[in-house]
Structure 1
């Protein structure tokens, strides 16, 4: 189990995982297309993520949508960590074919090759996502556990951003999503991650390969892309602050996410690679703590020691969820995983790293304009 392929391994999570695995004595191969949206216009020369791994791994520049690239990459591999994917909920709602081709099609090519070609692969770890839970899990005094549907455009237009459930007269109580929670994604991205996970968990046991799925919450930390305006509010807000631009907080700022630090994500993933108790299971990876967007803004401003205008605008994006945070009972009991980095400490580390980086041109408004034109930003 010494040879590990990481698809999408030049990305934020993949590169950090690769470096930790190298320290532990593994031989790492990476298949990555060096997407300019993530790595910039000249990735080979200017991408910090690429520079962090090159010379330490066997690097294959290619794509999971190419059968030839995938076939070359899986030779002599014992384990595959499958990260290659298009990411971001908003963009997925209008780049539908691209998300389906890469996320679903790329996974189908990988599995088809493993099912029909001789190989040494014994385990596949798939990066799933909290997005597959949609609006998450709530408790109702009248009905018990309930899973609200996507929020209505008409409600959010009037400033009502909370979720609703038919027949419930009392306010719903937000609770953590466990792995048995209802799967009902509210974006194309979420649908493709659900499909990836289900294909891996269904096909692998039939071909003698152990599957493990990790449903990551919002992963952040030093090294994440500051140039990609479609994913990661920490990067988006940081870039705005560093460019002395106003922050537009969507909805009422009370929407929450479970922010999990990159080191914790890498540690959880390695437990899945090394521990046979993980085989055949899906696990949440997060902190189990919901954090408001308003808190994110105040913590970033405090850590950068700067003031910029902050507008709670009531704008919203169709496909976004209101709340979600992870129940970690299963991964704690099965793999002994405990997140070590609090949001307060993690965001301090992240801000210190951002302060060492060149300030990027802000591409955020372009992404918002694009979403407005598609009718997805209100």
Structure 2
């Protein structure tokens, strides 16, 4: 039987959890990944249940081949580090904007009816002070990564209007959970802090630590993707994926120290260019339209991950 779902970046953090969830629901799966950051071991427990294509979303022909006979496309591949996008803007642009363009263009060229669910980011809002952040606010990207995600959302609207390609953009806030490697430059702050605390190393906080983040557990991110697949009608749609609650980085450190039973004080350094100071999501749209609500608060997610 032909696969009916494609997951790009399926060997990565979010992508591999999506693969697990979709296989558990008996979907036929195909993964497209170049394995530059994704890990084979994230798929080995499922590799007899899916088709794996080693390829790159930056190559249109590879994408064209990967979407054949596919009904749904979960596009998770990309360059996910805002700080690195400042240092390597061309690589970031090619992965995030060209890669996403190729997904939409491949669907258009094949006349496919495949629906696209793709990863956007809260970074598109920039340092917007109109908290909580809702989807109708203007975007003020502070780095290439944020600009590329915002441009991808606009591309989705354009392709729906001109070519009737349907999509859902999910603006992920700060995701954390198992398989988020601490050694990768793409890692989130939680995975890095956990690794440093376990090694007995001093944590580094950029800025005063009072900057806030809306941390969302990987299990909730996956459930949001599945709800988008099952409930969103044709069109170009956009939703925040978060908890609607924020904590400071200093509060996060205290929570981790309590769970890991360590009291090592952090060290503070200057804020990084392109970092957002305040972040808090309004999740009323996804809750009202999809009936999706986060089930994991930060304490529950951390405990589940570190148990």
Query: Which of the numbers 71, 83, 92 marks the counterpart of 2:85?
Result: 92
Does structure 2 conserve the Cα–Cα contact (< 8 Å) formed by 1:300 and 1:351?
A: no
| Residues 107, 114 of structure 2: 8 Å contact kept | no
- Deviations, residues 168-199 of structure 1 (Å, cap 9, x unaligned): xxxxxxx2001011111111110111111211
Distance 2:64 2:234 in 1: 26
How big is each residue's C-alpha offset from its partner over 1:208-267, in whole Å with a ceiling of 9 and x where there is no partner? Answer: 332111111111112222221343001111111122111111211100110001111111
Partner residue of 1:137?
129
Q: How far apart, in 2, do the equivalents of 1:310 and 1:116 lie?
A: 52
8 A contact 1:212–1:278 mirrored in 2:
no
3-state DSSP of counterpart to 2:124: helix
Q: Kindly report which structure 2 residues correspond to 1:5-154, keeping only aligned pairs within 5 A, or say none.
A: 5-35=6-36, 38-39=37-38, 43-44=39-40, 47=41, 49-119=42-112, 121-138=113-130
Match of 2:191 in 1: 235
Q: Please point out which of 339, 343, 348 is paired with 2:294.
A: 339
Distance between the aligned counterparts of 1:11 and 1:100, measured in 2?
A: 19
C-alpha displacement at 1:2, in angstroms? Answer: 7.3
Structure 1 consecutive aligned stretches of length 4 or more whose deviation exceeds 6 Å: none
Pairs within 5 Å for 1:192-211: 192-211=148-167
User: Which whole-Å CA distance do the structure 1 matches of 2:164 and 2:193 have between them?
Assistant: 45
Deviation at 1:308, TM superposition (A): 2.6
How far has the Cα of 1:301 moved from its partner? Answer: 1.4
Residue range with higher mean Cα deviation, 278-287 or 213-222: 278-287
Structure 1 Cα separation of the partners of residues 248 and 292 of structure 2: 24
Distance 1:271 1:82, change over 3 A: same
Determine the C-alpha separation between the residues in 2 that align with 1:305 and 1:18: 34
Counterparts of 2:185 and 2:197, CA distance in 1:
14
1:288 maps to 244
C-alpha displacement at 1:279, in angstroms? 4.2
- Whole-angstrom CA distance in 1 between matches of 2:5 and 2:50: 10
Q: Is the 8 A contact 2:129 2:278 kept in 1?
A: no
Tell me how many residue pairs correspond in the alignment. Answer: 306
- Listed as ranges, the gaps of 5+ residues in structure 2 are none
Q: Partner residue of 1:245?
A: 201
Q: CA deviation at 1:96?
A: 0.3
Are the counterparts in 1 of residues 160 and 235 from structure 2 also a CA contact under 8 Å? no
1: CA distance between counterparts of 2:234 and 2:105? 23
Superposition deviation, residue 207 in structure 1: 2.4
User: Is contact 1:253–1:294 with CA below 8 Å preserved after alignment?
Assistant: yes
Q: Distance in 2 between matches of 1:276 and 1:296?
A: 34
TM-score by length of 2: 0.94
Q: Under a length normalisation based on structure 1, what TM-score does the superposition of the two structures give?
A: 0.77
Q: Find the structure with the greater CA-based Rg.
A: 1
Displacement of 1:204 in angstroms is 3.2
1:348 equivalent among 278, 289, 303: 303
Aligned position for 1:329 = 284
Does the CA-based 8 Å contact 2:165-2:235 persist in structure 1?
A: no
Deviations 1:318-342 (CA, angstroms, capped at 9, x unpaired): 0000011110111111000110111
